[in-house]
Structure 1
Amino acid sequence: MEPRHIVMVGYDGAELLDIACVTSTFGLANAIGQLHPGYRVSLATPGGQPIRCDSGLVVQAQLTLERLTGPIDTLIVSGGFGHEVAADNALVVAHVRRLARESRRVASVCTGATVLAATGLLDGHRATTHWRFAPRLASRYRDVHVDSAPIFIREGRMATAAGVTSGLDLTLAFVEEDHGPELSRQVARDLVTYLQRPGNQAQMSVYVAPPAPDNDVVRRAVDHVLSHLDTDLSTARLADAVGVSPRHLTRLFLRELGDPPARFVRSARVDAAARLLDSTDLPMPEVATRTGFGSAEALRQAFVARFRMPPAKFRAVSRRPEPDRPDQDRAMAG
């Protein structure tokens, strides 16, 4: 059997970590699993030219994008600050579209989703990208159902990863699909990373706070929300707390955050509940109370809407246990 050919598509302004997280993970799977055949990993670029990454480092390509033909096992488009220039390049888009037809799986990392969206391959599909660029992707490609919450999304043979190191999580999922969970766990341990974060885990808001709004009124409103999650946070009450009218507050939130106050409040409550589920053993009713949901059922509905799983399942997958260690290791630890 021939090795599984993994093709990473890069371009000037690509993010080096987007490329390395994928290529290093497949390479380590080859070494640890002693796979024969294993993965053959290549970087394809326009004209086969070296590319200058966001960091300024120059990376040499192995393949010329325009001359490459299938079959390809997995085609993955890198993200990076050059993503919109690449998406506006008709030749790049045409060749990615052509190669996708000859690939078993097609994926993107971070803003590489912009290039996939330009090909039309994501039309009618859920897709994710880095949370900072999600609104731009959604406004530019109206037929793509952009979801900025998960770290990666898989729909059939199409996959999109949220950003940078989430490409590692998606690649681990590919390794598990190809060779089973044990090899995926071994690779993750050698990479000193999570054994594998589930795709539905939130990419940004559960563990990384968004930047503070520039507008003073919105910043004070956000601070009030985050410190009073278990109180009445209706738009009228929130506007009163910061001394403006509900209409003006809504206008400011839409301009600064892209969401009305009520939607921001609901998202903040879900994020806080997710942190509690991940870090405590509090029962569901207590989590609901502390985060301002009226009941455990209201909490469940919010989680299903946001993460497409109930809170109990979210807690289970976010606390996925490590695989058993040898008995002597357990004895030493105990």
Structure 2
Amino acid sequence: MAQRTVLLVLFDGVQSLDVTGPLEVFSGAEAQVPGTYRLRTATLDGGPVRTSSGLTLVPDTSLADEAVPHTLLVPGGQGTRAPDPRLTDWLREHGPHSERLVSVCTGAILLAEAGLLDGHRVTTHWAYCAKLARDHPSVEVDPDPIYVRDGQVSTSAGVTSGIDLALALVEEDLGRDTALTIARHLVVFLRRPGNQAQFSAQLAAQTARREPLRDVQHWITEHPADDLGVEALAARAGLSPRHFARAFRAETGTTPGRYVDQVRLEHARRLLEDTTGGIEQISRTSGYGTPEAMRRAFLKALGTSPAEYRRRFRPAATPDRRTSAP
């Protein structure tokens, strides 16, 4: 197997975890299968840079002295807000020659500025998705997934999703067993599916201003198996169904039905990850009623079945945090 060079681009204001997270994954893979990866860090001039948290990183070399890598990884951070034009020019010239272009967090902005994301479906940190889409209309920005792989280009959301994406790349290169060993060593799950949402349902939706609607939101979260139809929720809020549905959407940014769907999906995911409860039991506890209904919901939202989700997200060797579903 040919050795793959992974080059991480460093710059002032880089987010340190965007660098060290993927670096730990690839270095773990190199330790498991020596000769697999050649890891390099580089800056424009070969000099040290200061991260957004104040750490100083000393690179291996300058970008000018590095050959075209197999995998070019661009992290994010405050330094992407006003990028050095010389860095953008370097990416524009050299990026297309790498077999894989990878970004973590707002590193996608640098790739977009270099014209390397045109025509691709991508993601970035949720706070910058709208800006990326507005500034680069030829880029298809998906604000929901934790990472997106589209041909040569792979982009990820916040800092921890860079680890998830790196694990996915290692699994592609070296197989699941190697990636699983690395994930266990780093005490992370192998692996969050790329289309898993960046937010939990409670974070994705706004919190309602009015207390009755806010109370209903809490009720939904705490009672996913109850009757959560619009009429039942409206009665709990003391409003007519029509008024409730309109007010809920206006104050939370989503419909009652979609919010319920998100809460139930999140509840089921958590039970699959954290418990040994059976699929039928979890489907009832999460409000789906039947395993088939839960299966359809998982396929629609995550592109995978509940059983496959559990297999990926909760390795058999991972100790239980609870022994059964509540």
TM-score normalized by the length of structure 2:
0.78
Q: How many Å separate the matches in 2 of 1:85 and 1:235? A: 47
Q: Secondary structure at the match of 1:98?
A: helix
What is the rounded CA distance, in whole Å, between the counterparts of 1:74 and 1:317 in structure 2?
Answer: 25
2:275 paired residue among 240, 259, 280: 280
Q: Using the alignment, how far apart are the partners of 2:2 and 2:295 within structure 1?
A: 47
Cα deviation, residue 241, structure 1: 3.3
Q: Which of residues 193, 214, 225 in structure 1 aligns to 2:187?
A: 193
Paired position in structure 2 for 1:55 = 53
Aligned to 1:224: 219
Amino acid at match of 1:45: T
Q: Distance in 1 between matches of 2:119 and 2:233?
A: 37
1:144 and 2:140 equivalent? yes
Q: Is the CA contact (8 Å cut-off) linking 1:106 and 1:158 kept in structure 2?
A: yes
- Aligned counterparts of 1:228 and 1:136: Cα–Cα separation in 2: 37
Alignment CA distance shift 1:136-1:27 (3 Å): same
* Matching residue's letter, 2:17: L
Q: CA deviation at 1:271?
A: 0.8
Question: Counterparts of 1:59-138 in structure 2 under 5 Å?
Answer: 59-65=57-63, 67=64, 70-86=67-83, 90-134=85-129, 136-138=131-133
Aligned length: 311
Structural mapping, 1:205-216, within 5 Å: 205=199, 210=203, 213=206, 215-216=208-209
> Per the alignment, do residues 176 and 248 of structure 1 end up closer, same or farther by CA in structure 2, a change over 3 Å counting?
closer
The Cα shift of 1:193 comes to 2.3
Deviation digits for residues 10-44 of structure 1 (CA, Å, limit 9, x no counterpart): 32221101101222333343344332xx4332223
Residue in structure 2 matched with residue 327 of structure 1 by the alignment? none
Cα shift at 1:108: 1.1
Residue number in structure 1 paired with 2:321: none
Q: Which residue of 1 aligns with 2:323?
A: none
Offset, 1:114:
2.8
State the match for 1:16 in structure 2: 16
Secondary structure of 1:40's partner?
strand
Partner in structure 1 of residue 27 of structure 2: 27
Q: What is the CA-CA distance between 1:103 and the residue it aligns to?
A: 0.5
Given the superposition, is the C-alpha separation of residues 316 and 178 from structure 1 closer, same or farther in structure 2, using an over 3 Å criterion?
A: closer
- Residue 8 of structure 1, CA deviation: 0.9
Which consecutive unaligned segments of at least 5 residues does structure 1 have?
A: 324-334
Aligned to 2:43: 45
Q: Which residue of 2 aligns with 1:310?
A: 305
Provide, for residues 104-160 of structure 1, a one-character-per-residue CA deviation record: whole Å limited to 9, x for no partner: 1111112222333444433444433344544554555553241523x4333333212
Report deviation, 1:237: 4.7
Any conservation in 2 of the 1:152–1:162 contact (CA below 8 Å)?
yes
Following TM superposition, by how much is the alpha carbon of 1:61 offset from its aligned partner in structure 2, in angstroms? 3.0
Distance in 2 between residues matched to 1:119 and 1:243, nearest whole Å: 54
| Structure 2 letter corresponding to 1:41 | L
- C-alpha distance 299-177 of structure 1, shift in aligned 2 (>3 A): closer
The equivalent residue for 2:322 is: none
- The match for 1:162 is 157
- Calculate percent identity across the aligned residue pairs: 33
- Partner of 1:210, secondary structure, is helix
Q: Where does residue 202 of structure 1 map in the other structure?
A: 196
Letter of the 2:105 counterpart: C
SS in 2 for 1:165: helix
For each residue in 1:269-308, what CA deviation from the matched residue of structure 2 results, as whole angstroms up to 9, or x when unmatched?
1111111222334444443333233544332232122211
Residue pair 1:130, 1:148 contacting (<8 A) in 2 also: no
Whole-angstrom distance in 1 between the partners of 2:71 and 2:181: 21
Specify the SS of the correspondent of 1:43. Answer: strand
Q: Structure 2: state its 5+ residue gaps.
A: 319-326
Contact kept, 8 Å, 2:168 with 2:191, in 1: the verdict is: no
Q: Distance in 2 between matches of 1:184 and 1:115?
A: 28
